[in-house]
């Protein structure tokens, strides 16, 4: 099993050496992620975040269809560029984007905001940290990223009903 070490140590190998030990990854024509095995074969792997709620983009387990782990990537930034782009692209494809049509409620629970919304895909509840604020993009869209990395988008704030806008006003001003 390959492992990308991200803990700095005085005796740690140079960045180039770490890149040599890092797993080699690529995307197939079908969009799947492939891992280069020790015998030189490309094997399809699935990404399993070890901490999907707290560190969604770190500590990523790469597993085959039998759930055997082939690599653990502590930090994708430690990978060579081609492998990093393949991994991050495949990771992005595993996440969903939900279009928010109305907001039912926003509650604060400890250090989390709990959002209850209606999306094009149905009613959803998602959580964000109270320190995390939605991003307002140049085109006017408002984007929320939940703790699992899924995206919730309001394409145009003005298209929401008055009650939803009233609930949202303090979060998106």
Both 88 and 16 in a single domain?
yes
pLDDT tens-digit map of 98-113: 999 999 999 999 999 9
Sign of CA dihedral 106, 95, 82, 40: positive
Determine which of 10-14, 37-41, 66-70, 138-142 has the lowest per-residue pLDDT on average.
10-14
* β-strand pairing of 42-49 with 60-63: antiparallel
129 near 147, Cβ under 8 Å?
yes
**Domain ends where: 65, 93, 121?**
93
Both 76 and 8 in a single domain?
yes
Both 27 and 82 in a single domain?
yes
Both 84 and 11 in a single domain?
yes
**What is the number of residues in the chain?**
173
Structural domain total, the chain: 2
User: Which pLDDT value is given to residue 52?
Assistant: 65
pLDDT band for position 12 (50/70/90)?
Answer: very low
Those residues whose C-beta lies under 8 Å from the C-beta of residue 21, and which sit 6 or more positions away, are: 2, 3, 4, 5, 13
H or E stretch at 167:
helix 162-172
* Cα(44)–Cα(73) distance, integer angstroms: 16
* Cα(46)–Cα(38) distance, integer angstroms: 18
pLDDT tens-digit map of 47-73: 988 886 567 789 999 999 899 999 999
Those residues whose C-beta lies under 8 Å from the C-beta of residue 56, and which sit 6 or more positions away, are: 49, 147, 148, 149
Both 101 and 23 in a single domain?
no
Looking at per-residue pLDDT, the higher value among 128 and 9 belongs to 128
pLDDT > 60? residue 94: yes
* Cα(111)–Cα(96) distance, integer angstroms: 24
Q: What is the model's pTM?
A: 0.51
Give the residue carrying structure tokens 């990404």.
Answer: 47
Residue-number span of the structural domain to which 58 is assigned? 2-93
Q: Which residue from 41, 170, 152 is spatially nearest to 98, judged by alpha carbons?
A: 152
2 near 20, Cβ under 8 Å?
no
**Domain ends where: 42, 62, 93?**
93
């Amino acid at each position: 099993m390959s492992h990308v070490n991200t803990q700095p140590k005085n005796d740690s190998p140079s960045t180039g050496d770490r890149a040599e030990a890092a797993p080699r990854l690529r995307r197939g024509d079908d969009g799947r992620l492939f891992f280069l095995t020790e015998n030189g074969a490309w094997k399809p792997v699935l990404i399993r975040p070890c901490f999907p709620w707290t560190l969604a983009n770190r500590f990523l387990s790469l597993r085959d269809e039998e759930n055997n782990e082939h690599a653990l990537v502590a930090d994708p930034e430690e990978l060579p560029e081609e492998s990093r782009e393949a991994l991050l692209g495949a990771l992005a494809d595993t996440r969903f984007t939900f279009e928010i049509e109305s907001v039912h409620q926003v509650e604060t629970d400890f250090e989390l905001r709990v959002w209850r919304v209606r999306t094009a895909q149905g009613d959803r509840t998602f959580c964000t940290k109270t320190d995390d604020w939605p991003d307002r993009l140049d085109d006017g869209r408002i984007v929320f990223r939940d703790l699992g990395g899924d995206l919730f988008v309001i394409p145009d704030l003005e298209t929401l009903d008055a009650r939803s806008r009233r609930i949202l006003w303090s979060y998106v001003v």
